[in-house]
Amino acid sequence: MSNLLERERAFQAQKDRFVTRALELLGYPSLGHVPDVRQRKPVALLPVLIGDYRKMTEQELDQLARAYSGELGIAHFLILNPDDQSDSRHPLLALANQLSDRLPLKYPVDHPMEGHPEAVSRFGSADGTLKIYDLETKDGSNGYREQAETSEMFDAHNDGLGYAGAVEAFMLYADSVPLAGGYTYFQNVVLLSLLLAREDPEAFESLFLPDAITALRPRGKGAIRVSTPVLFLNEQENPQAFLRLPTGEYQISWRKGNSALDRAAKLLNSHAEPFSPGSSFIHMDRKGAGCISRNHWVVHGRTPFIDGAQPSDHRVLARKWFMCAPQHAHYKHVPGMHIHHDYASLFPERFGPELLDGDWHYDPETNENVRKS
């Protein structure tokens, strides 16, 4: 099958399996049962209170699992005894252990920046989590920083650009909190897309184009360009979404010349704004607050915040990523995407095995991703 148009049509045919599986996972008998979240006001989520993070009750575990698997795809918690000692290296990891038979939290990945000398000098020895904080607050330097390392707005995205979509879930936990601001907001892109499937099938189908969206991080350690469908069936035959809004160093472009895709982009982008209809948000305003996010389905962003003069008034989040399969629980930095073999095999030049492994970097000189190792 050499003709590009034919290949794209065959690739987009995954949309039917996507719908069937998404409905099944959400528990809706048909597309007609999908709630119109565009009519819903944003939801300020209340946390599941966790009395003792070292020994969670069945009820606490169930509430978190239900929230994660529900329409919003996000479980918010507040640990009431964050300072009590335990055998775990971090309370977040204690939660993940106790939830791992109910939620996809079995395969944590160690991020290369965990235990980074700067983080260790500020927060002590590595505890198995990545620290996310405003790097500027210490010395006022204006050196290059990732967007997560600022106190600025960080628009909606899925975590893990460069990991080929393997980050299925992530957890955040407030080690300390800022003086003000720093709301984290969420939108379930898979649920939203099912409305398109019902009302504008052509726009829905366009989201399965193999190069529907391109995210470019042009510089720094994480320089990479990733072109991917916005919706696809992943290696585990589950629906998955990839969406980003331009923010900080990230440049986002959509495939041009397709009015159906323009309509789809408009709907998704507008609903990925903070506090948009159908979204949810949390405020991690106390040590021990945190969340578990369904990263394959849900995009998230963060509003700006203000740190105080004292380190105890700085926003420091502990983060952990959890991968969708044990073979993906390692560092990689690649331009491809883990798409179901039936469809990935139609575009080996985009989603073949060599594009899913190793350490690649985008080279602005040649405008190409280059494999380094």
Binding site for Fe ion (CB under 5 A): 159
Q: Distance of CA 2 to CAs 15, 186, 316, 332, 341, Å?
A: 21, 40, 51, 31, 18
Nearer to Fe ion among residue 236 and residue 247 (C-beta): 247
In angstroms, give the least distance from the CB of 242 to Fe ion. 13
Report the nearest approach of Fe ion to the CB of residue 13 (Å). 32
CB of 164 to Fe ion, least distance (A): 17
Nearer to Fe ion, 8 or 159 (CB): 159
Pick 86 or 303: Cβ nearer Fe ion: 303
- Tokens encoding 13: 């045919």
> Angle, nearest 10°, between helix axes 4-12 and 14-26?
20
User: C-alpha distances in angstroms, 253 versus 112, 228, 310, 313?
Assistant: 28, 11, 40, 37
CA distance 177 to 179: 7
CB of 43 to Fe ion, least distance (A): 20
Q: From the CB of 284, what's the least distance to Fe ion, in Å?
A: 13
Cβ distance to Fe ion smaller for residue 216 or 233: 216
> What does each C-alpha distance from 261 to 12, 187, 205, 225, 339 come to in angstroms?
13, 19, 8, 20, 20
Closest CB 132 distance from Fe ion, rounded Å: 8
**Which secondary-structure segment (H or E) carries 253?**
strand 251-254
Q: How far is the CB of 360 from Fe ion (least distance, A)?
A: 21
Alpha-carbon distances of 360 from 93, 355, 370, rounded to whole Å: 30, 9, 5
Residue nearest to Fe ion (CB): 159
Pairing outcome for strands 239-241 and 231-233: antiparallel
**How far is Cα 77 from Cα 290, in angstroms, rounded to an integer?**
5
Rank residues 159 and 273 by Cβ distance to Fe ion and give the closer one.
159
DSSP 142: -
Provide the minimum distance between the beta carbon of 322 and Fe ion in the complex, in angstroms, as a whole number. Answer: 14
**CA angle, 329 then 345 then 236, to 5°:** 40
Based on CB atoms, which residue is closest to Fe ion, 159 or 313? 159
CB of 3 vs Fe ion, minimal distance in Å: 39
DSSP 311: G
Select 110 or 159, whichever has its Cβ closest to Fe ion. Answer: 159
Q: Residue 11: which of 227, 270, 296, 335 has the closest Cα?
A: 227
CA distance 9 to 28: 27
Residue 135 or 346 with smaller CB distance to Fe ion:
135
Whether the CB-CB separation of 307 and 179 falls below 8 Å is answered with yes
Q: Which is nearer to Fe ion, 159 or 285 (CB)?
A: 159
CB closer to Fe ion, 34 vs 167 = 167
Cα(132)–Cα(148) distance, rounded to whole angstroms? 7
Report the distance separating Cα 57 and Cα 55, nearest Å.
Answer: 7
Q: How far is the CB of 274 from Fe ion (least distance, A)?
A: 14
